[in-house]
Amino acid sequence: MTATPYAQLLFAGPDLLDGSFAELFRARLVELRGAASLADIVDTGAGYDGLWQRMGEGNGSCLVIDLEPQSSSQHVDWLRSELAAKTDPEWVFVTSLFGQLDADAAAAACALIERPELHLSCVDVPALPGSHAWSKIPTHQHRVLLCNGPRCTRRGALPLWKILREKVKAAGKLECEGGVHITRTQCQFPCDQGPTLTVYPPGHWYQVRSEEDVIRLVDEQLVAGRPVPELMMSRP
């Protein structure tokens, strides 16, 4: 185990206590950093209160390794802002895999510890602008909600999200008059039929399992206005 300049290291993300991903992650972390490193894991599946409570335990500088599967630059800036508000920002740093988790996420996370050039200070985090395009309701006719909850994510929802946005934009339907506003959500149910995609109006629930399913829904439901019965979820 390599020494670090930090008094405290915290691996923060959802699904780090239970399930197959947690099993692999924890076993690999023990292999790389020893059994004591299990105490450095903070599961954020039910929120971030546990992380806020852990701050300052090391009586010195702290590095938080972000393991949120849906992480982005905006998420990391939010995390930095929250940490700055809850502890001394001079002593807290954040680094992230930016959602690029794979079967050896523990090794990737540990590698980040050794790369200080990728550690972001919590001092002077860029403030949100007072007015921005995202401060207004997007122009749209339909809302499409694609589940990115834990079970749908494991069924391939994340790459489908990227394809959905690309195809809607290519069709000239992204956030425009008569167009589509798309949003990732947490669990929508029913998980066993997912990934789940819903369209409002008319309130259709679809099962999308492949790129072909997404393309068909964009072409038929969102562009031509025709429902796709073959992809609709069964109801009790």
Tell me, yes or no, whether 73 and 142 share the same domain.
no
Tell me, yes or no, whether 72 and 152 share the same domain.
no
Query: Looking at residue 97, what DSSP letter applies?
Result: -
pTM for the whole thing?
0.65
Whether the Cβ atoms of residue 77 and residue 129 lie closer than 8 Å to each other: no
For 174, the 3-state DSSP assignment is strand
Whether the Cβ atoms of residue 196 and residue 188 lie closer than 8 Å to each other: yes
Render pLDDT for 211-233 as a digit per residue (tens, 0 to 9).
999 999 999 999 999 999 999 99
Instruction: With CA atoms as reference, report the closest residue to 142 among 185, 190, 177, 189.
Output: 177
Tell me, yes or no, whether 105 and 45 share the same domain.
yes
Render pLDDT for 197-211 as a digit per residue (tens, 0 to 9).
999 999 999 999 999
Q: Can you list the alpha helix ranges (DSSP code H) found in 135-193?
A: 150-154, 157-170
Point out which residues pair with 42 in neighbouring strands: 12
Render pLDDT for 107-166 as a digit per residue (tens, 0 to 9).
999 999 999 999 999 999 988 766 666 668 889 999 999 998 888 888 889 889 999 999
Tell me, yes or no, whether 20 and 98 share the same domain.
yes
Determine the Cα angle at 124 with ends 123 and 127, to 5°.
135
